[in-house]
Structure formats: C-alpha cells, structure tokens
Amino acid sequence: MDASGDPYAVLGVPQTATADEVRLAFNAAAQRFHPASHPHPLAREEQSRIAAAYAILGDAGRRAAYDANTAPPTPVLRARLTPSRTWLPFLRETQVVYGLLEITAEPRFTDELPAPPVNLSLVIDRSTSMQGERLDQVKRAVMPLIDQLTDRDTFSVVAFSDRAEVVVPAQRNFDRALAKARISTLYAGGGTELLQGLISGLTELQRYVSPSAVNHLILLTDGRTYGDEADSLSLASLAALDGINIHGMGIGEEWNDSFLDDLAGRTGGATAYVNSAASVARYFREKMSGLTSSFAERLRLVVLADRGASAQFAFRSAPEPAPINLEAQPIRLGSLRRGNRVEVLVQFHVTPETTGLLWVGRLIVLADVLGLNRMDERLSADLAVTVRADAPSETPPAAIVEALSKLNLYRLQERAAAEAAAGHTQQATQTLERLASRLLASGKDALAKTALVEARRLARTQKMSALGQKTLKFGTRALFNPSDHLP
Amino acid sequence: VIRCPVCQHEEYDGTLFCSECGTQLWEGKAAPAEDGQDTQRFGADELVRAPEGYAEPARPEAAEATPAPQQLVVRVQGSAEPIYLIGRAEYRLGRGDPRQGVRPEVDLGPYRALELGVSRLHAALKCAGAVVTITDLGSTNGTLVNGVRLAPYTPQSLRDGDELRLGKLALRVYLKAG
C-alpha cells in the first residue's frame, strides 16, 4: 500500500499513538474539513479519507489486523512547509501568513533509478516573421537535441503558419539523419495560427503518450495568434488531463507573454523568453537535461484553506518561476528533477477568533514517480500558527524572506505593466521608478536601468516598449534562479 | 493593519513587503546587502541610560535657541549645528541607506546613528497648523519623549524644548510660531 492510503499519515499520528490520541486526532481532523463549514469538493474528499482512516485505527481489532498485515509505507517524496510566522497577535482583523512549500525526492531513491523515456514534440512557428536568422537559430539549436535522444525516446516535429504540417512524425528509433534533413529544409512563410500547430503537435504526442514517460510539448513562437486563443487554452487544459506538459518559448518581442503563460501554466509548464542564438541553444540544452533527469512527473497541488482563512496568492518560485492560478485546482506544477526541488509560495489571509492553535490550510501534493511506477503518490502538509494576546515579534525565516523579496520585484513589475495597460500612466511611471530603486538596492543595475528607461518612455509616449516590458517580466522572474542569465 | 513607512500604504499585519512601493515592512536581517547594515538592538535598560561620553548639556533657553523665522528646529545632542526644518508638513527621521532606497528627510547618519541604534526610518515629525507631533515608525529600539516611550505608530504632540530619544540618540525640538 502506498503512503496515500496510510491511515496513520491521514490522521497525522505515529504508529505508537494510543487509542485516545487517535480519537483526539480524528476529532480535530474531522472538524477541520467538515462539509458544513467547508463546501469545497476537495474538502469532502479529504473528509472521507479521514473517516476511512479512523474506521481502521479507531477499532482495536481492525487496527491490529492492519498493523500485522501492512508493511510501513516508504515515502519517496518529501514536502516541507515553512510558515512566515509561528505566532499571531490576537487581533480580530485580517492578518497575513505566508507558507513556503518545498517538494523534494527522498535522496536514497534518486541514484538507482534509470532515466525515464521521453516523449517529446516540438511545435515550431514558421510564419513570415521567423524568416532568416530566427528560424536558422532554431534549426541549429534543435540538431544537438536530436543526438541526445535515445532509442527508447519518441520525437516529433510540427511546423505551423496558417496551417500545420508534420515535419517529423512521432516514432521510436527514428532516422536521425532524415529528421535533421527535414528540419533543415523548413522555410518561413504565412501567418501565425497557433491552434493548428498545437492540435498537430498534441496528436503526434498522443500516439505514444504513456504514464511511465515524460510527455512534453515545446511550442516556439514569435508572434501573436488571432481568434484561436480561447480554443488553444481549452486544448491545453485537456492535454493536462492526459498528463502532457506544454512549454512555451517566445522569440523576439511580439509574442503574447500572458497568453503563453496561461497556456503553459494550465499544464504545469512554463514560458521562457529568448532573443539570441545562444539563449535558444541553452534553452534546449537545459530542457533536454531536465526531461531526462525527471524523478516525478505531473505534480499537482491542492490548496485547502481552513475555515476563517483564504488563499490569496500563489507563485511557483522553482524550478521554473511562474504565476499560479489558484482558481484552477488542482494546480499543475510540472516535473520534479532529481536532486532538485519544486517550490511554491502561498499567501493566506486569516482572521483569528480565539487564542490558541489556528489551522490556516492544508497543502496536498500528488505526483507520478516514474522510475518506481508509483502513480498518484500523495503528500500533505499543514500550516498552523498559535494565536496569543502577547505574541512575541519574530524574524521571518530566511528562505521566505529570500523568495518574497524576489517576488516583491516581480509583482512591482506586474503592477507597473497593468497600470500602464489601463492607461494610468502617472501611477505606472511611479511604480517603475520604485521598481528601479528596489532593483538598484539589490544590485541588479542592468534591470534597474531598463525600468528607468521604460519609466521615461512611459511619461513621454504613454506606453512601455514590448521589449522593455518583456525584459522586466522575465528578468525579475529569472532572479529566482541565480544561475539563469538574461537573454 | 500596518502602515508602510515610505509610502503610507496600509497592509494587513504580517505582510512582509509593501505591495505599493516594495519597501520591506519589518526590521531585521532581511536582505543583508553587503554594505547595508542592520540596526543593532539594545536591551531596554540600556536605552534609559544616557549614552557614555555624553555630558547632558544645560537646557538652553528656548527663545535664544530658536531663530525667529523658523517654526521647527531640532538639535542633536552634542552637536553645535541646529537642523532647520522648513517647507514640509512631514519629516522622517532615520538613518539613510541609499542601497535600500531609504532616504529620510532628516538623515541622522552623520550623527553616529548606526552606532546609537537608530532605525532606517525611525520616527516622523508632522506639522499640522500650530501642532507638531512625533510618531514612532515601528523602530527597533523605540522613541522616547522626555523619557517616556511612545507606542509605535501613535502620534504624540510636542512642546518647545522637548527631548527626543531615537534609540540612544538624543535630540531636542524647538518650536516657535513663525
């Protein structure tokens, strides 16, 4: 039996717990997720797990039988949840608690596992604007990738403009020389109809889609698609249900970054911004090494706020920084690489009603651990604080401060872009200036300069440049990965 | 609710960075920029004692210390130069830290502010008509008026000749109708 069915884990008691301790734990847990106070369907599911666990552990005979017949579960993943504060002053007003969730692999499992098979589809925009150097850069960057694929991997390439064509059909053991020759003869011409490309790419991927494989689609585009954005987004949501990850790669300045973020985000993927030959090549290199070192795929997160609390905001700070849509649960978090971590920051609002222990929320993680063939591996972590009239002041943990100080810069940038788009020029200019001074204070002189240039441009022309806006957006995101460089 | 010391935006208690201007909203070792130094915290008993090497000067006559046209003057204890505060309704007192973008109107940096435990944004002087108030901005070591500690973020009106202590740094306020 896997950890998800372990009744001890569900009730949060050790195997040595007495009958009284089990009963108390059950009462507390059952109250937290009681359907009357918690209408969310996921809370009901949690409630039935708790009831099922108590049905076993609350009965001495069944508990003894369970203990005798069940080996203790061996967790393969770890979830650590750090709160920004452990004490809350007893004020009947809204207060903020942040939680930093880190998901890692149990170290003893990561060495012995073979690399998982990769099922990869590249969907390449070949519209007129890709002509010349841009398309050549992409072609050059794809060639080394083909050499890295093994015989167990499947690979396909789709090119699209007004319509889509399959350049390399999905297959194992494909003819590398032929694939390279086909890619090298790609030419640019036509419009950008992204939906066509996405449909063909997903169709190729579907032919070999497997729960034990890493199923990813990489979409490269340099332009805006018109009229088919909503359909593309719906298609991405469906692909996510099939366990497919979509990654966006935007080239140049014209592509729609919020659309691509939304598209990739629905599947747990991320968007990258590239504008040089070197960064295209690096992107593929890193993507490929990420795919072959995957430990768990299709990570899903459910955020259940307790009564009196609400989740306000969430952001994935690692491995690929990306905004999270809390409305679409489960939240898809993509892959966990070996020796790496997936990190999510969640901001809760709570209003204490009495002193004592205050539950803020439960974060539940589901993941497919490929090499061990453990699907829907489940982990959960709780966030709780103690409310006291004389709550001592405390210094927030360094990891939270670190993540929040970067998020702070990213959110200032988002704010400036939103204010500029809404025509609030003066406000946006001020926000950009504030961003610039914060960036300077953290030693990011080049980005600070970009923010100042855009502030002046905004004051003069009422608009930010697409290049400046993207540089700030992806530049502040890249601060989360110190090893990443700007394109 | 807490108030951002820089832009005055209100945030819920527990917020770590101002959503409006990005200012860090708590005192502590948050972003240890290489040359940005944190405010050292003193024990409560250390703060009531006069700092060593400081001879308490005789309280000057308010009339002779306040030049006629000015309304608000502060003088740091031990310094000969009065600081004239002209033209604003509000002055923040603190220890300037340009690397963190903190620039109080009255920068006490030159008066050994770091050593004496003055926070980056320590307190604010506000003039509303004839009334002048001082507000502690949630500083690490607190603000005292004539030896009485202020509750943070609670304005306290000042009279001519009042003594302020920001951490261990003492200064006197002189008021005169202009």
Q: Is-contact A242 A206, C-beta < 8 A?
A: yes
Question: What is the C-alpha to C-alpha distance for residues A390 and A117, in angstroms, rounded to an integer?
Answer: 56
Instruction: Test A405 with B24 for CB contact under 8 angstroms.
Output: yes
Identify the DSSP state of A68.
H
- The answer to whether A483 contacts chain B (CB < 8 Å) is no
For A222, which DSSP code?
S
What is the DSSP code (8-state) at residue A263? H
Q: What is the DSSP letter of B17?
A: B
Is residue A303 within 8 Å of residue A314, measured between CB atoms?
yes
Q: Provide the token pair at A210.
A: 């497997």
d(CA A200, CA A160): 9
Q: What is the ipTM of this complex?
A: 0.82
Chain A contact for B147, CB < 8 A? no
Please list every residue in chain A whose beta carbon sits closer than 8 Å to the beta carbon of residue B13. 89, 91, 93-96
Determine the distance in angstroms separating the CA of A77 from the nearest CA of chain B, rounded to an integer. 30
Provide the 3-class DSSP secondary structure of residue B69: coil
Rounded to whole angstroms, the Cα distance separating A46 from A302 reads 11
B residues 51..110 contacting A (CB < 8 A): 99-101
Give pairs for A53-56: CB < 8 Å, separation 24+.
Answer: A53/A7, A53/A8, A53/A10, A53/A11, A53/A26, A54/A7, A54/A11, A54/A22, A54/A26, A54/A30, A56/A7
pLDDT, residue A41, reads 74
Dump the DSSP string for B117-175. T--SS-EEEEEETTEEEEEE-S-SS-EEETTEEPPTT--EE--TT-EEEETTEEEEEEE
- Minimal C-alpha gap between B147 and chain A (Å): 24
Higher pLDDT among residues B79 and A338, named by residue: A338
Q: Order across the sheet with A331-337: list the strands.
A: A87-89, A374-388, A356-369, A294-305, A331-337
Q: Is A27 exposed, middle or buried (0-12, 13-18, 19+ CB in 10 A)?
A: exposed
**Pick from A206, A119, A203, A118: which is nearest to A160 by CA?**
A203
Residue B44 sits at the chain A interface (C-beta within 8 Å): no
Q: Tell me the nearest-neighbour CA distance from A441 into chain B, angstroms.
A: 4
pLDDT, one tens digit for every residue, chain A (487 residues): 334 578 888 888 888 889 998 998 898 888 888 777 766 777 788 888 899 999 999 999 999 998 888 877 788 899 999 999 999 999 889 999 999 999 999 888 777 677 889 999 999 999 999 998 889 999 999 998 998 898 889 999 999 999 999 999 999 888 999 999 999 999 999 989 999 999 999 999 999 998 889 999 999 999 888 889 999 999 999 999 999 999 999 998 889 999 999 999 999 999 999 877 778 888 888 888 888 889 999 999 999 998 889 999 999 998 999 999 998 889 999 999 988 899 999 999 999 999 999 999 999 999 999 888 888 888 889 999 999 998 888 889 988 998 999 999 999 999 999 999 999 999 999 999 989 888 888 888 889 989 999 999 998 999 999 999 999 999 999 998 865 433 3
Residue A405, both tokens: 């100080």
Name the one residue in this structure whose structure tokens are 């509000």: B90
pTM value surpassing 0.90 = no
CB contact under 8 A, B13 and A434: no
Across B14-25, average pLDDT: 89
CA B64/CA B42 separation, integer angstroms = 35
Provide the 3-class DSSP secondary structure of residue A242: coil
Contact B174, B62 (CB under 8 A): yes
How far is the C-alpha of A406 from the C-alpha of A404, rounded, in Å?
A: 5
Question: Measured between CB atoms, does A388 come within 8 Å of chain B?
Answer: no
Q: What is the pLDDT of residue A12?
A: 82
Greatest mean pLDDT among A91-95, B76-80, B94-98 = A91-95
| Cα-based distances in Å from A445 to A61, A78, A356, A459 | 68, 37, 46, 21
